[in-house]
A and B are shown apart, each in its own frame.
Chain A
Amino acid sequence: MRLLLHHTFILLLSLLCLATPAAAQSVYTLSGRVLDATTGEALAGAAVALKERPAAGAITDAAGRYSFAAYEGMYTLVVKYIGYEAQEQPVQFNQSISITIRLTPTTYKVQEVEVVAERKPPITETPVMGQLELPLETIKTLPVLFGEVDILKIVSLMPGVKSAGEGSTGFYVRGGGADQNLVLLDKAIVYNPGHLFNFFSVFNSDAIDQTTLIKGNMPALYGGRLSSVLDIGMKEGDLNDFRVDGGIGLIASRLSVQGPLVEDKAAFILSGRRTYADVLMNPFLKNTDQGGVPYYFYDLNGKLSFILSEKDKLYFSGYYGRDVGELTLSEGRFKGDFFWGNSSATARWNHTFNDKLEMDVHGVMSKYDFEFSWDFGGFTTVAQTGVQDYSASLDFNYKPHVRHHLQYGLQYTYHKLLPRAGEAESASGEIFGTDQLLTKYGHEYGLYLSDDIYLTDRLLLSLGIRNSYFTQTGPFTFYQFDENLLTTDSTVYGSGEKVRTFSAWEPRVSAKYDINKKSSVKAAFSKSAQYLHLVSNAYTTLPLDVWAPSSAMVEPQRATQYALGYFRSIKENQYEGSVEVYYKDLENQLEYREGFAPGPSNRDLEYEFVSGSGRSYGVELFLRKNYGALQGWFGYTLSRTTRKFPELNKGHTFPARYDRRHDLSVVGSYKYNDRWTFGGSFVYGTGEATTLPVRRYFLEGTVNYQYGDRNSFRMQPTHRLDLSATLEGRKWKNIENSWTFSIYNVYGRRNPYLYYIDNEGSAYDSGVKLQAKKVSIVPFPLPSVTLNFTWK
């Protein structure tokens, strides 16, 4: 891998040598916005070009803005956006000018317009390596578990991203842990993006709009996580018309209402989703004496958008979601209630100073909490954990020149992290609790600057630097323990007093060289630091897993990543493809120590962590067809991910649990006619690494195990085919409707979720039976149907 690193630098160097001064002819800038003529909404992804010089042009960004340069002269400006009438207009280039273009929708149906609304800049043009836009509307035609469209499951179909397991929304990017993904919903960190043990994500597909995934080499703007950014934006609401969207599915129903508050000036959107799993699951829940688990989850999303002026926009958005349930065992001898969920609120002010400078101000609150309370044996016990963040950020976007783009800003977050604390009250009112587990407070700052500059027509250099700083502050008591885990000493820190401080310089450098109009080479190098950690010892992250800050007990995680890729756009970007190689070194990775058994404790969980290093490298192939009746992609990753911990596996290197040699996904949708669209996806992954017993012994007559090397055993490979068909229903009055039928796991593959060795009996009694078992989660074809409707 040292070789790869070496080659990366050679390449960077040679690219720099290729840089020649730009020709000395007058170059002017054409900039402006592309808007929907009827709704006034910005059109992202519209193609703006000069007919006479097809090489000059741009694709509009999320705000509908475009900007490009061309030599002096008379041209015809062509603006194209599928689903809209193309526009041509003459322009005279003798100075830099700004033109706003309003496109009229063609008379296509809404559904189709939305599908093409996913037009993206070609993969060859994006400066960030490993960045993928996820087209939500196309995704809606793909097969899904229980008919619930889930952006996180689509994410795991991308090369370099591995699903945490069958049906799971958890994902691992390029060998990083589940806690290393920065999942943002309108800039608010979502600490636990899963419902129902990660079977569903918290993102209601009706409420979300744009989703961007960045696999490592993230721009300096993002910080605090090592592996990836999943930046999800909520819909802004229709500025002109009221509309209602909804869906009725097997497991959940959704409803969204949006419309103008003041036409062209202010809009709202409100979305809700609730499951009826509590009703539906009951038949599956035999053998429970309450005949089922009253369990459900729901999500609420809302956003208000105000266009105060041409230059000022104001947004308020919020999310609130909960998993709620109760549990009764042994005819009421044990009674428990639990809930967990995220909530967030975002206020954003976007101000455009001029066509070169733009500013975003954010104020964000984000919270995750878990609570489980139960009555047993005369005690009422409450166990809780959670995270609460308050953050503010100021970000600037400055384009002094069409070939020069600066981003800089300042971010601050106040973290409050509640460990897994508990308190039990006896019938007589005595209280017993985890009095040594204290809420931890942290202040995290990030200061960043990134500069994208075209050194030549072909060479774009992105230089980014981020300075991050984290300090744990009191009130806090740092306990020390003896070998019997009894407290021997403690250091008390007062409110606001610094306990530990960490900081890091995080360079983020990348370069893009356009070999020609159709292909480019990109290389990137980045360093990053992460100050919050989540360690899970289960096959998936759990709602009661605890986020722990860097503190007197835990050092920050750090990563260094190198990546190199070749990108190509084929047939006017009908197809695009890439080959990327990456190498990543991880430091201060965390795991639970050997012999750790979860249970109530008055010692912080951090004492159960051990730290080590990680390494991941691989090749990712990606080929996507963007337009036409048949769309879809093919992704393949060949990779290796290892960990090395002095205190685990006798200090020997071992494969990470999510080390998967081969990971393949093929995803497609085919529009057969105006009414029928078919979708399908196929995934294949090398068997997961797991630890199994190799030997056994008896204690008190029952079987106990001696385990083999950590993760040295491979389960069977996983593969699965899912299919779907979407039928556009006939329009009835103002209601459009569509039916999505899907079958998850078409050929009933019994993918292994875990292996274990079951044992029964006593050696001193009836004898012992041992049997290896495979547990599968959805081992049969699971059909579902969802009705979606829109009224407007």
Chain B
Amino acid sequence: MRSPYFILAILCSLLFFGCEEDITVEIPAGEEQLVVEGHIEQEASPVVVLTRTVPVFTEVSVEALAKSFVHDAQVRVTVDGQTYTLDEVPLAALPQELKELIAVQFGLRPEFLSTEAGALFYVYTSQELKGEVGKSYRLHIRHAGRELSAVTTIPHLNPLDSLYTIPHPNPEEDSLRQLYYRYSDPDTLGNTIRYFTKRNSEPFYPGLFASVFSDEFINGATIDYPLDRGEPKGQQEVDVDLYSYFGKGDTVTVRWAAIDQAHYRFWFTLENEQNNNGSPISSPNITRSNIQGGLGIWGGYGVSYHTLIIE
């Protein structure tokens, strides 16, 4: 369900006819922190990308991106009392199957993998460990005197009942369809989901404004609700005419991932921050990370896939 805040943010941006201008600000350098972007999903190896924060206005370049990777860290994952060490590997050296999974989990375009920057992309992973549904994974990272840790779970799968579409509210737009899902929530409270959609041969994209749901209000119920098409983040302007819709003839694949509460809170607060950046009715909020001693996320996904060909 959408937050009234989000709606009011839109309303506000309409009412405020103020102006924006570019400025130059002197910002202190701040203290470097380590950032974890790590995932584990069922039947797949854990993957951790370890980077460091850089001053906001550091030049954006392939070299700068490469320099932000943290090398030679000790990265370990513990499950059921057994500890696995994750080795640092350049992405290019990984098997194709794992590369594709990483592309989905980390929002990499397949083309990126063959670029210069792609060659500099390093991950920590272990081929020995494969995720299992229902298990908790403790991540522990040690680097240059810093210790980071986090725990995540791969929740039990909560697949969708079905996917279907309805027509665009304007009958003239008969080539556009709105995707809906039917979902039966388990009886226990606390089921949370992150979703991604894929249109035809495009990559998977998470929901643009809100990719996570919680069953806080619908616990145990079966609901039908619109599922907006995922889109790349960071677009200059979202095409409002096409936002959320699929077209007739599209093959839609939904990646429906059960996540735990801390993982949900991370994306919920992060998306809130991104949606409200620059809004006069909000203030900067700090994304709630589940990493002790650092930033980012160590998140398990219990994934089910659903496909629909729109006729």
Contact = CB atoms under 8 A, between A and B. Distances in A.
A236 B270 CA distance: 54
Interface of A: 196-197, 281, 284-285, 288-289, 293, 295, 325, 327, 329-334, 336, 338, 372, 374, 376-379, 381, 383, 422, 424, 426-427, 430, 432-434, 484-487, 537-540, 542, 544, 594-602, 691-708, 712-713, 750, 753-765, 767-779
Contacts of B22: 771-774
Contact of B270 (A379, A540, A699, A760): A699
Contacts, number: 279
A768 B263 CA distance: 26
Contact of A773 (B20, B60, B109): B20
Given A196-B15, A759-B277, 19 more contacts: A197-B16, A327-B7, A329-B10, A376-B226, A538-B282, A538-B283, A594-B285, A595-B288, A695-B53, A697-B296, A699-B35, A702-B274, A757-B56, A757-B277, A758-B277, A760-B235, A760-B236, A765-B234, A777-B280
B108 A540 contact: no
Contacts of A332: 169-170
B297 A699 contact: yes
Nearest to A706: B53
Contact of B55 (A284, A538, A691, A694): A694
8 A-B pairs with the lowest CB-CB distances in the bound complex, closest first: A694-B30, A700-B107, A597-B272, A595-B288, A695-B53, A484-B261, A284-B17, A377-B226
Contact of B281 (A327, A427, A542): A542
Given A383-B4, A538-B280, A775-B19, A699 B236 contact: no
B158 interface: no
A352 B133 CA distance: 80
Contacts of B117: 764
B11 A327 contact: yes
Contacts of B109: 764-765
15 contacts: A374-B4, A376-B2, A379-B1, A485-B261, A540-B280, A598-B282, A602-B216, A696-B55, A700-B107, A706-B53, A755-B25, A757-B277, A764-B109, A765-B234, A775-B280
Contacts of B7: 327, 334, 336, 372, 374
B123 interface: no
B8 A776 contact: no
Nearest to A292: B14
A15 B206 CA distance: 72
Contacts of B221: 430, 432
A379 B170 CA distance: 19
Contacts of B225: 377-379
Contacts of A197: 12, 15-16, 281
Given A377-B226, A695-B55, A434 B278 contact: no
A770 B270 contact: no
B33 A706 contact: yes
B210 to A, nearest CB: 9
Contacts of A487: 189
B206 A778 contact: no
A600 B215 CA distance: 12
B23 interface: yes
B64 to A, nearest CB: 9
A597 B285 contact: yes
A357 to B, nearest CB: 50
A539 B276 CA distance: 12
Contacts of A757: 56, 277
